[in-house]
Structure 1
């Protein structure tokens, strides 16, 4: 039986005669009234459509709802005359010397709801983070997450735009191979998630999207914020389902988690408002034990033997690694050393082998080095591991090629390939090391070193370029290479800043995150938020690592408000912002196509001052000589910082 507590709701003389006020007492929202010398306490929800009575007014002795003008007695909650037959619940009131008190029943014991059950299942599957925005159609889900946060099993990050939430989840999935979750309301909140979810979809990152929905009884009636969410998410999500009254709720969440993990894809669950809050008191949350089989398997023997023969006879073999090889690089590098093979990376694979390694040749393609291009062109066999042959990378189809990938759809995705090996990259690398007892490959290390000397001289020459129009990119990224930790996590945007980063930043063991196939501007800073979350997980490979993001002014402007999110949660992120007042890559494309440069200029604030106004650190850099000190100060700051570099849009 519920007990009654007398709780102070108003100070003496706080509410003038003839006025009303909303007061929250515990979990109760009340409308306090002062009329005819007496105080009343009514439930704050009009029984018509839930209008907030505390925002209404007393007119001619009656409390009027601000939404539709329905009237009630301000003391008894009764409607006048025969207007309608319902009324507003009231609470006992006492006026004491120190204020006005209201009798409130203690809240009933909480019973497990559909949302509690499903969020607990998600936690059991290892999901520890949720990025999102709490709103009226996801309040049951939000409360379930709140309860898990109280027990330390989940952490919620409240963002300013749902697109940042899905980008953060995409980056977390790309980095860790595990899903984070994002939360949005029905309608516009859900559609705002789509860009970041598409980024996850095309780059094979696991994400779980949780969206509210209007109550099921009004679906199909063009209700406020109603859209057909299963259709809206149908292509982006590999698994998308609506939670129904009689669903096996724990199993729905288990399948969503399994699909995200096994398929490295987006899963989506839709929660109609009234179903999300249904009681499920006696149901246990599912666990993942025995639900996922190992995906590590050896390739079929015939293509493997073909690959082995091609490598045994190759004199100048080259290995090209993409993002799909990121968890197997120790074994890949051992194979490269045995083969004396130069190792090139795709842009998404930048940093998988240090540039300082005797066989490391940097990035291949538009964002790459002339070293990588040279060795691909001089090769007689290409061994491509975990890469998908995007046109951005430009892996030539004219060389004899072996492609190894776990995903059969990635094999020969764009054109035919000489030898297709469907299997685990690590297993294939180990077998090749064991079976390549004799090979014809020459040692190309000296040639690699000579090519690096040539490229380093060119980069040094470019660092001296100065048109008096800002700092050149060669200097910006040379200084950043020297400043960041060897194992930093770096999120990069799209545009000229990304091309320059790929070309000039010298990787050691840093993990690089980017919007690959989608190529979405604005990715970098929300991605850094997702990476920061991974660094907060003790006992993981990412714990405590430095997080840096890089963008232009156009990209950062897309999610400018999220810097305040980073301040709120004290995320230790250093953002390097190339400020040239222009969408420089688009200007370059317009010139290349012989168009007039049009509508690519930007009107910007001082981003350094903006960072300071938000409560973070902002540093403005106007010359190359200031770079080292600015980076050191920003990286040492315990919280979010912006290094705003006035950069030359031409010297990229």
Structure 2
């Protein structure tokens, strides 16, 4: 009778599920998995991408899932390797991305003996995982693998399989019962009574505003048609940037610290708020008094953070299509037109800031120039910090894909996201837009891009500071502390790794550096020295922020002896 080892069956199942690559690092507790993976890799059935840190592998798996909707997979050893994955797995959990983590473990007969690198992995992953199971036998493996992957897809989260190192070596009978490696994706519609109630609220609205989240991805046209019919401006949550083009006539951009003034103004004056596919957390930027409709495929999210008058639990696209077909067309478009005029003035203001040719280079200038060399279908992996603000405000997305660590907001996500982007879309331009703080956290995996010939382009906004924290300290009225960074020359680092580097210190050097970078077939770093004192001011500055910043300035003047005291 034909026999296979359990490790071979594991790899076969991943291939049947459509997994075409895995991020990871080999080690002693997964060698019995790595061997069948090697054979499949050499046969061209699945790729193994060796990362230099397991956190980068988990972040890349999460980014791949966000970009494609497909399962991201990472492989790691027991103990320290598994611990390293936690940050990337929490990123996947909080952004609801389907990820499978396969974690080695000490052999079965050594469990509970405090053996070398033994960690209670089921307890470690208990909070992060929607499915968390140790494989106990070869016979159990096929069903558990299928259940783990199906759960990751259906519950939009992280599945963790802990595999003791002896289990993949066991032989399996050829007639062992398998479950099928597939899942069925439903189309969910709200109840008719909820749709009718939403229709009535929309028909009565005079100043409707839409806040669209990432749940509207794949429903762009339905969103536009709906907004056009009710004359409602569209505000986008940060993860939804790119759902419609930034300069679309209906788009008011983002909201909050990274948002636009027209979006803030529309929210403050709205009489009806329509939340679609978002669980927006910052209530201070939402209307104080407005009738609220909340559309989400997950009923748990409806009314979770902001009081909803009407809830519609269903697919965003299908729900919007029904509403568009049944609501009245709004004749009075003055509210929309007023904010469209405001948005035109906002873009002119942004253009003035982006035209500033002073030195140090303004970060807004970098994003403006990047817009000119980025293809319409490029992938942007954006790190966390001030760089998020500048990209959200100053990069005008047309059809590009935009990903970031949204809910966890973990520094260091930019480079791993670009690795995943290039794996997902080998023929597209892929950019990582990073601050120097974020890039410094995962920069060692630039050599991964070199090794696998992934021509990613890293744009580093280098101000030698953790600049967002500097600004936060100042807004609190405190003196900046602990935010200075000592950086290498990132361009020379790129060259030392076998890539290509460009150092930009003058505005006139920037266009050529970006044009040369996008023409290269090797991974590149464009290291741009930018102004550390350019504050990421929110669209609406509160009195408390202004007062805090003023207090900070007075403290600085006294501390540095810049303010003469009157004689006593």
Q: TM-score, normalised by structure 2?
A: 0.90
The one of 565, 576, 594 equivalent to 2:459 is 576
CA contact (8 A) 2:15 2:45 kept: yes
The one of 468, 484, 492 equivalent to 1:601 is 484
Matched, 1:118 2:1: no
How many residue pairs get matched? 535
Aligned to 2:265: 374
Aligned to 2:275: 384
The one of 440, 464, 486 equivalent to 1:557 is 440
Aligned to 2:565: none
Structure 1: runs of 5+ lacking an equivalent: 1-109, 537-543
CA–CA distance in 1 between the matches of 2:248 and 2:276?
A: 18
CA–CA distance in 1 between the matches of 2:320 and 2:501?
A: 46
Aligned to 1:499: 389
RMSD value, Cα: 2.0
CA–CA distance in 2 between the matches of 1:284 and 1:337?
A: 56
The one of 23, 27, 47 equivalent to 1:131 is 23
CA–CA distance in 1 between the matches of 2:446 and 2:434?
A: 13
- Kindly state the Cα deviation for residue 424 of structure 1 after the two structures are TM-superposed: 1.0
CA contact (8 A) 2:19 2:46 kept: yes
Structure with the bigger percentage of helix: 2
CA contact (8 A) 2:235 2:255 kept: yes
- Kindly state the Cα deviation for residue 432 of structure 1 after the two structures are TM-superposed: 0.8
- Kindly state the Cα deviation for residue 501 of structure 1 after the two structures are TM-superposed: 1.2
Question: Looking at both structures, which has the greater relative contact order when contacts are Cα pairs under 8 Å and sequence separation is at least 6?
Answer: 2
Aligned to 1:625: 508
- Kindly state the Cα deviation for residue 587 of structure 1 after the two structures are TM-superposed: 1.1
- Kindly state the Cα deviation for residue 374 of structure 1 after the two structures are TM-superposed: 2.2
CA contact (8 A) 2:209 2:270 kept: yes
Aligned to 2:310: 419
- The alpha-carbon distance between structure 1 residues 238 and 385, as it changes in their structure 2 partners (threshold 3 A), is same
Aligned to 2:120: 228
CA–CA distance in 2 between the matches of 1:288 and 1:208?
A: 17
CA–CA distance in 1 between the matches of 2:283 and 2:75?
A: 33
CA contact (8 A) 1:312 1:440 kept: no
Q: TM-score, normalised by structure 1?
A: 0.79
- The alpha-carbon distance between structure 1 residues 413 and 207, as it changes in their structure 2 partners (threshold 3 A), is same
Structure with the bigger percentage of strand: 1
CA–CA distance in 2 between the matches of 1:600 and 1:610?
A: 22
- The alpha-carbon distance between structure 1 residues 487 and 444, as it changes in their structure 2 partners (threshold 3 A), is farther
Segment of structure 1 superposing worse, 225-234 or 173-182: 173-182
CA–CA distance in 1 between the matches of 2:179 and 2:256?
A: 44
Q: What does 1:356-371 correspond to in 2, within 5 Å? A: 356-371=247-262
CA contact (8 A) 1:313 1:440 kept: no
Structure 2: runs of 5+ lacking an equivalent: 537-568
Whose radius of gyration is greater, 1 or 2?
1
CA contact (8 A) 1:367 1:499 kept: yes
Matched, 1:305 2:188: no
> For residues 268-311 of structure 1, what are the alpha-carbon distances to aligned partners after superposition, in whole Å with 9 as ceiling and x for unaligned?
1011011121112515695746x533321110122211111111
CA contact (8 A) 1:314 1:439 kept: no
CA–CA distance in 2 between the matches of 1:598 and 1:362?
A: 33
- The alpha-carbon distance between structure 1 residues 607 and 111, as it changes in their structure 2 partners (threshold 3 A), is farther
CA contact (8 A) 2:356 2:365 kept: no
- SS across alignment from 2:258: coil
Aligned to 1:316: 207
Aligned to 1:272: 164
Aligned to 2:561: none
CA contact (8 A) 1:619 1:643 kept: yes
Q: What does 1:101-500 correspond to in 2, within 5 Å? A: 112-245=4-137, 247-283=139-175, 286=178, 288=180, 292-391=183-282, 394-396=285-287, 398-439=289-330, 441-442=332-333, 446-465=337-356, 468=359, 470-500=360-390
CA–CA distance in 2 between the matches of 1:229 and 1:189?
A: 11
Aligned to 1:514: 404
